[in-house]
Copies of this chain bind each other. A is one copy, B any other.
């Protein structure tokens, strides 16, 4: 098996889900990996990863609204407020979602289900440039 690595940079424009399935798939294709395992890791504490429904934007809207209600900005009991009203809520949202994912590769493609997409979940209100590390162990 061989080892492949790259970094995907994602520009965000406020809170929400940003699909980057195609960017990962493009690396698998470029590397020529036929079979193996792909690992994704995010390097931030106010943005995270999730694999979820890729078809209907209203499903994504509900995921976003859920976290907005579940871990709102500026709760009275937050102690960590120096870095802005959306900082502590961001760390909570990171805790409730994922920082690392692993996805099998078969026949040269990510083995995702029909309705699965890979998303970066931005939890900060202002634009950011986010880094996701892509690693792949596979047969080229």
Interface size on A, residues (CB 8 A): 61
Q: Write out the residue numbers on chain B whose beta carbons fall within 8 Å of the beta carbon of A58.
A: 79-82
Expressed in whole angstroms, the minimum distance between the Cβ of A2 and any Cβ of chain B is 9
Pair A102/B63 contact, Cβ less than 8 Å? no
Pair A66/B71 contact, Cβ less than 8 Å? yes
Q: Write out the residue numbers on chain B whose beta carbons fall within 8 Å of the beta carbon of A104.
A: 5, 39, 41, 133, 135
- Chain A residues in the interface with B (C-beta under 8 A): 1, 3, 5, 35-37, 39, 41-45, 50-54, 56, 58-59, 61-63, 65-66, 69, 71, 77-83, 87-88, 91-92, 94-104, 106, 111-116, 131, 133, 135, 137, 139
